[in-house]
């Protein structure tokens, strides 16, 4: 979410098993035939942007009840909010509920960042980052659980911190399943590395516990990943056309913020870093023509037709920021149709201008 946000990291001693790390070649992915209809996605929208003002790092989950569940970072960094709607457009005016607030002291007392809502094995889970009230940059990943069928009801139980190989700055947890296994992807500072955060992947033993090796999928290496801060964070996964695509956000959280892309064959071992190829150029960037700046920390959902892929992200409406970008509240939630190229890879286009879009 807000990259190391940008404070120098402390160094920590490795805890647990050693990391099975790997770097990525920048070779292009092997092209395969797209699925029928690729590049001719059915009409979705129109959408009106911004969808939700002053909500960064947006995550939209379309549930089996046909509703869209929305959560995002509030600029006060002090709570987790939910909205729901039967339509994507309806999220804009849906009533917002606070389902959890930061602690007044101790763990989870500051910097409540980048929540995601997932429904796993009949229960709801919220993944988010937080820091102790007395050490606000000691940011780690945490999980809440709610067994009620309605996440606006019941009790959100604190399941604890997600423990990784090191006790270092970590955030932006996301989870997905592939070929019968559940995975966690997240951003973390790796001791000894000359960066702020890289993106890691591990299998999960349950919705709040990683198991087995964790591997580094991408670390900042290109110039566009290292502007202001050396950051790879905010991973999100979409599976289409026989491949697994993982987006991530790079650079500082101002107008330099942008999306990168990793690609793996769906039949490959996702825990083998060699299975992934990394785009040498960003796939979604600021645009002076449409007046959208710093697009990033995305998620994916699908339109009401059940077929049209939708890109969810935040961006600002201006380039110049006074002071620390973290103190600027105007990262607004935005949505637009995600296209597909003839070779079956995603076509992000550019962040659309304010107003209604097709």
Helix, strand counts (H, E) of the chain: 0, 23
Question: Which H helix or E strand runs over 260?
Answer: strand 258-265
Spell out the residues 6+ positions from residue 74 whose beta carbon is closer than 8 angstroms to its own: 54, 55, 81, 112
DSSP type of residue 287: B
What whole-number distance in Å separates Cα of residue 358 and Cα of residue 352?
Answer: 10
In DSSP notation, 94-111 reads SPPEEEEE--SSSTT-EE
Q: Catalytic annotation on 57?
A: yes
C-alpha dihedral sign at 117, 122, 123, 129? negative
* Structure token digits, residue 266: 């769906």
What whole-number distance in Å separates Cα of residue 193 and Cα of residue 210?
Answer: 22
Question: Which H helix or E strand runs over 239?
Answer: strand 232-240
Q: Catalytic annotation on 5?
A: no
Residue whose tokens read 């929540």: 115
Active-site residue identified among 57, 116, 225, 254 = 57
What whole-number distance in Å separates Cα of residue 151 and Cα of residue 332?
Answer: 24
C-beta atoms surrounding 39 within 10 Å = 13
Active-site residue identified among 190, 225, 233, 328 = 233
**Angle ∠(238,50,228) on CA atoms, nearest 5:** 70
Candidates 308, 293, 300, 215; CA nearest to 258 is 293
Residues identified as active-site: 57, 233
């Amino acid at each position: 979410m807000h990259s190391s946000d940008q404070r120098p990291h402390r160094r920590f001693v490795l805890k647990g098993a050693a990391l099975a790390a790997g770097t990525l070649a920048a070779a292009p992915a092997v092209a395969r035939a797209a699925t029928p209809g690729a590049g001719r996605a059915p009409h979705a929208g129109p959408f009106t942007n911004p969808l939700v003002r002053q909500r960064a790092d947006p995550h939209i989950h379309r549930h089996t009840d046909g509703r869209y569940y929305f959560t995002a970072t509030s600029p006060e960094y002090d709570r987790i909010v939910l909205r729901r709607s039967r339509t994507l457009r309806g999220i804009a005016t849906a009533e917002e509920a606070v389902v959890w607030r930061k602690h007044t002291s101790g763990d989870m007392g500051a910097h409540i960042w980048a929540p995601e809502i997932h429904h796993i094995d009949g229960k709801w889970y919220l993944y988010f980052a937080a820091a102790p009230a007395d050490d606000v940059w000691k940011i780690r990943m945490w999980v809440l659980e709610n067994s009620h069928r309605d996440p606006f009801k019941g009790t959100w139980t604190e399941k604890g911190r997600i423990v990784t190989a090191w006790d270092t700055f970590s955030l932006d947890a996301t989870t997905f399943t592939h070929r019968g296994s559940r995975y966690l992807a997240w951003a973390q500072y790796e001791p000894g590395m000359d960066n702020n955060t890289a993106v890691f992947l591990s299998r999960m033993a349950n919705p709040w516990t990683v198991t087995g090796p964790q591997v580094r999928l991408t670390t900042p290496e290109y110039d566009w990943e290292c502007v202001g801060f050396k950051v790879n964070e905010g991973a999100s996964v979409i599976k289409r056309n026989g491949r697994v695509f993982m987006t991530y956000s790079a650079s500082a959280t101002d107008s330099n913020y942008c999306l990168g892309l990793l690609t793996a064959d769906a039949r490959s071992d996702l825990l083998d870093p060699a299975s992934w190829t990394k785009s040498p150029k960003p796939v979604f960037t600021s645009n002076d023509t449409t007046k959208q700046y710093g697009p990033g920390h995305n998620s994916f959902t699908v339109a009401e037709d059940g077929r049209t892929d939708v890109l969810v992200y935040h961006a600002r409406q201006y380039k110049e920021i006074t002071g620390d970008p973290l103190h600027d509240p105007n990262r607004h939630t935005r949505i637009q149709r995600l296209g597909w190229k003839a070779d079956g890879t995603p076509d992000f286009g550019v962040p659309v201008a304010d107003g209604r879009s097709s």
